Amino acid sequence: MKGLYGLAGLLLLVEALPRLGLVDDGYLPPATRIAAALGDEVVTAGFWQAVGDTLTGWAIGLAIAVVAGVVIGVGIGAVPVLRAATASTVEFLRPIPSVALIPLAVLLYGTDLGSTLLLVVYAAFWQVLVQVLYGVADVDPIAEETARSFRLGAWARIRNVLWPTALPYVFTGVRLAASVALVLAVTAELVIGAPGLGKMIAVAQTSGAVPDMYALIAVTGLLGVAINLAARLFERRTLAWHQSVRGEVAS
Amino acid sequence: MAATACGSSGGSSGETGSDGADQVKVGVIPIVDVAPIYLGKDKGFFANRNIEVSMEAGQGGAAIVPGVVSGQFQFGFSNMTSLLIAQTKNVPIKTVSAGVASTGEQGKDFGAVMVKADSPIKTAADLAGKKVSVNTLKNIGDTTVRESVRKAGGDPKNITFVEIPFANMPAALQEGQVDASWVVEPALSAVKAAGGRLVASNYVDAAPDLTVAAYFTSAKLAGEDADLVKRFTEAINESLTYADAHPDEVRAVLGSYTKIDEKTRGELILPKWPVEINQASVETLAELGRQDGIFEGATPDVAKVLP
């Protein structure tokens, strides 16, 4: 609830700055005018289509990134030789900004959903992978040794020892990836012109429709908040048994 | 929906829809210049020729040339200088029809160099040594602005060109980040509304009735499906002619694919949409670009670009 004070403050600031003449209202309209533009948008089918397109790109991209990140992360993490061999490659590829791949995305997929997915998956994958690697490294060696001495097979050790330890890390990775995926989905639409909210923002920009542009930007912000809240809720539900969440609830 | 679903196959020739029409994707920038193709689609000029056209609009057009070459789009819309640059880099493209042209009237063109009302810059000659914004560096903007300066008797050598998207130029000019801005509609109307003053019609200065942009295709598609290219060219030509003759419908169709408000749509200066590419003007653009070093030492072969 306290978080709402900050938002209210921001809205007041955006309302006041142009009204007091501190910024030109042609470039930053007051919050009420942005809200009115938003009101005009939400009654159009095109707006919801764009929201749907953006969320589709986000969800598919995130799903691919999470599955790939978890599978590859556990695979690499569980085998020390592989982990050592790939460490420098991961560190080399991870900081490459997804947007640098835009020309490649366009050559491969034009302005289709594929372009958005390429950017989203590339950015979100590393978030998950790195967390999974940390999670796997965090396995208690004594628990691992105990499992071995009970002659548990590789699969049973992954299921009973590695996975429960890594799970909170996986969720952190997913939560980070979810936000990053949204940013990249909108960026791809904005720059490449793949269908979605980003493309609508680009069209509003080139048309000089300033209140519309801010309204759509606000929508992407709200989507980000919603996604983060949903991810946290999901994490809390599924990890209710885990120390990290129990501690959080108690405090 | 079928049209979007088949897109990722990446074939260079158009897909065929369930009703037997050729599905054609055209890479465009969602600005005033491409109003004829939207209008032509609404009027059925493409459907009449068995073409189901869809527009793929990206910001700034960075995706258009690579999109056409890779076969993601069958056709694209791009300014002539960009096409000439592509030619000097041996990118296999070919124009299929005219795109948009300058009105040819000083002070009444859809693009202009603007300054703030109280600017000391009175004519294009005064731009020498100043900071001027263009939407893309080393492209049609800076080369034509330089020509305006030369024609006005100034020295274009020491102009500093700064890259700013058209949409941000009214603010950049207002805030004094640049001394002058080359803008096209609708940003031109926005600058005027904020009290801006016109110092040059750079397209007009560059060449009489300058062909600013054209529709093009890949050399591959031009070779493989000449019939489709021919039908597309006929449809776009009919669209250009129609748009030129019906400015009110152009202003109305702008509301369908841009968010330009109604007042601005009614007032902005429309470009010309002749059917013919003005070859002499393209040669002038090539020569100006060569002088200004836009082609990095190469000389574009205009004949290879034009149909």
Residue whose C-alpha is closest to residue B14's, from B63, B72, B94, B77: B72
Task: Decide if A234 is inside a domain.
Answer: yes
Task: Decide if A200 is inside a domain.
Answer: yes
d(CA B234, CA A177): 48
> A183 to chain B nearest CA, in Å?
17
> Token pair of B31, please?
């600005």
Task: Decide if A218 is inside a domain.
Answer: yes
* Per-residue pLDDT in tens (0 to 9) along chain A, 251 residues: 667 788 888 888 888 888 887 777 777 888 888 888 899 888 999 899 999 999 999 999 999 999 999 999 999 988 889 988 998 999 899 889 988 888 888 888 877 888 899 999 999 999 999 999 999 888 888 888 888 888 888 888 888 888 888 888 999 999 999 999 999 999 999 888 888 999 999 889 888 888 999 999 999 999 999 999 998 888 888 877 776 666 555 44
CATH number at residue A114: 1.10.3720.10
Answer yes or no: do A207 and B258 touch at CB < 8 A. yes
Which pLDDT score, from 0 to 100, does residue A77 have?
Answer: 87
Which pLDDT score, from 0 to 100, does residue B29 have?
Answer: 87
Q: Is the separation of the CB atoms in A164 and A134 below 8 Å? A: no
Task: Give the B-side interface with A, CB within 8 Å.
Answer: 4, 7-8, 10, 25, 27, 29-31, 56-59, 62-63, 66-67, 70, 72-73, 165-167, 170-171, 174, 186-187, 189-190, 194, 257-261, 264
Task: Decide if A39 is inside a domain.
Answer: no
Task: Decide if A76 is inside a domain.
Answer: yes
B186 closest CB neighbour out of A103, A191, A208: A208
Task: Decide if A5 is inside a domain.
Answer: no
Chunked into runs of 10 residues, chain B (307 residues) has average pLDDT values of: 38 56 90 94 94 81 80 91 90 93 94 93 91 91 92 90 90 91 93 92 93 94 92 95 95 92 92 94 92 86 87
Q: At what angle do helices A210-238 and A45-78 cross, to 10 degrees?
A: 40
Task: Decide if A118 is inside a domain.
Answer: yes
C-alpha separations of B145 from A110, B137, B157, B177, B211 in Å: 32, 12, 11, 18, 16
What ipTM is given for this predicted complex?
0.77
> Token pair of A91, please?
């560190």
Which pLDDT score, from 0 to 100, does residue B8 have?
Answer: 37
Residues of A in contact with B70 (CB under 8 A): 106-108, 110
Write down the H helix ranges in B18-130: 35-43, 64-69, 80-88
Q: Is B18 helix (H, G, I), strand (E, B) or coil?
A: coil
How big is the A-B interface in CB pairs under 8 Å?
103
Cβ-proximal residues to B45 (8 Å cutoff; 6+ apart), any chain: B235, B238, B239, B242
Task: Decide if A32 is inside a domain.
Answer: no
d(CA A125, CA A171): 13
Residues of B in contact with A190 (CB under 8 A): 59
> Token pair of B262, please?
């109604």
Q: Whats the size of chain A, residue-wise?
A: 251
Which structural domain range is residue A117 located in? 47-241
Going by the DSSP 8-state scheme, the letter that residue B14 receives in this structure is P
Q: Whats the size of chain B, residue-wise?
A: 307
Residues of B in contact with A26 (CB under 8 A): 170-171, 190, 194
Residue whose C-alpha is closest to residue A167's, from A136, A142, A123, A124: A136
Which pLDDT score, from 0 to 100, does residue A65 have?
Answer: 96
Number of domains in chain A: 1
Q: Please count the CA atoms within 13 angstroms of the CA of A59 that sit on its side-chain side.
A: 8
> Token pair of A191, please?
């720059």
Strand-pair partners of B200: B113
